[in-house]
Structure 1
Amino acid sequence: MPQLHGQPYDLNANGFYFESLEDYASKAKENRNAYGDLVEEYEIQFIDGDDIDCALAKAWCINQANIGGYFAACDEWEDYQKKIFIIAAGEIGCEFDPEDVHPEEFDVDLYHVDSMQELAEEMVDEGLFGDIPEHLADYIDMDAIARDLAYDYTETEIAGERLIYRAS
């Protein structure tokens, strides 16, 4: 589970670390500033955890109103679902309900390749351009196919992994 920090906007108060919504709620309920007043507003900061959960926090734009959904996503989603969400919300700008979001709602196709060239080769090998006779295979211009793919596909890096995606 990722570790977050609640940094008060009140300069006369101390923040606290937490690892769940319940942990946040109990610490926030008890947190007081130097004058004894309850601290109400916090900036939520990602402190420690997996790289994918850090990228998810950034795409989620975590704050004190939406961390419950974020923690649920960290706990319940597979890495590929997190990547789809990071692309949809973080790169494309899709809106989402932080309390009821499902990565399958986003129309994002992921390819685990390092370059457009590699994607072009994979698509040719899988027959997406039809059957290519063996004696003509050496004449296929992979660079041209890669350039054409770049019109509909985008390269990105998430948690240290290079990916190519297409979104509708």
Structure 2
Amino acid sequence: MSPVGFSGWAESMYFAQPYTISATGFYFIDLEEYQTKAATAVDDFGQPVEEFELHYIDGECAELFNAVRVSQASLAEWFELLDALGRDEDRYRIACHLAGLGYALDELADRWDDYSVYRGTAADYAAEIIADCYNLPGPIVSYIDYERLGREMVLGGDITELDDGIILIGG
């Protein structure tokens, strides 16, 4: 997912694949449509289909959908999370990071305010921290190796590089 052109998840498409091979799956875009179609799904013998495997088909939230392993049991929570995220790309990136660390779907919203997103490199962030925290004379500043300082901050776990030019701070 690129920071430019992020359009959110309003256009997301999902597919519910029945576990029984004698039934046909269906596409859906929201919880209401899923519930309506799931309630009327039957197999070739007229028996109701009870279990579905959910797939993310199209949209920009596949990374988060797969990281939190959305299932029938958590589908309502998934759509609640999307509502809570709104169109906030930074929160989405934080939620993806937290899900990758193993946080459950219901824990993400409680934790994303512990983080912030910085746009720039680790070296840029290191230079900004030095400038904000210290009033160093110009000649001394030219001796600071911001690339190395930024790399040390990443290796030390102080910051996390999510993508090229996207840094996650906090935790």
What's the TM-score, normalizing by structure 2?
A: 0.80
Aligned pair partner of 2:126 in 120, 131, 137: 120
Q: For residues 65 and 155 of structure 1, what CA distance do their matches in structure 2 show?
A: 32
Aligned pair partner of 1:164 in 159, 163, 167: 167
Q: For residues 107 and 164 of structure 1, what CA distance do their matches in structure 2 show?
A: 14
Q: Tell me the equivalent position of 1:64.
A: 72
Q: Tell me the equivalent position of 2:38.
A: 28
Q: For residues 35 and 104 of structure 2, what CA distance do their matches in structure 1 show?
A: 26
> Which runs of no fewer than 5 residues in structure 2 stay unpaired?
1-9
* 1:112-132 CA-partner distances (Å, limit 9, x unpaired): 22x32232233234x13x111
* 1:58-82 CA-partner distances (Å, limit 9, x unpaired): 2331111111121222234222222
**Identity %, equivalent residues:** 27
**Residues 33, 11 of structure 1: alpha-carbon distance in 2 compared, 3 angstrom cutoff:** same
The answer to whether the 8 Å contact 1:84/1:103 transfers is no
Q: Tell me the equivalent position of 1:4.
A: 14
Q: Tell me the equivalent position of 1:93.
A: 102
Residue type at the aligned position of 1:149: M
Q: For residues 106 and 94 of structure 1, what CA distance do their matches in structure 2 show?
A: 14
Q: For residues 61 and 46 of structure 1, what CA distance do their matches in structure 2 show?
A: 10
State the SS of the aligned residue for 2:56. strand
The answer to whether the 8 Å contact 1:88/1:108 transfers is no
The answer to whether the 8 Å contact 2:123/2:148 transfers is no
Q: Tell me the equivalent position of 1:75.
A: 83
Q: For residues 28 and 110 of structure 2, what CA distance do their matches in structure 1 show?
A: 25
Residue type at the aligned position of 1:18: F
What's the TM-score, normalizing by structure 1?
A: 0.81
Residue type at the aligned position of 1:30: T
The answer to whether the 8 Å contact 2:117/2:167 transfers is yes
**Residues 166, 109 of structure 1: alpha-carbon distance in 2 compared, 3 angstrom cutoff:** same
> Which runs of no fewer than 5 residues in structure 1 stay unpaired?
none
State the SS of the aligned residue for 2:70. coil
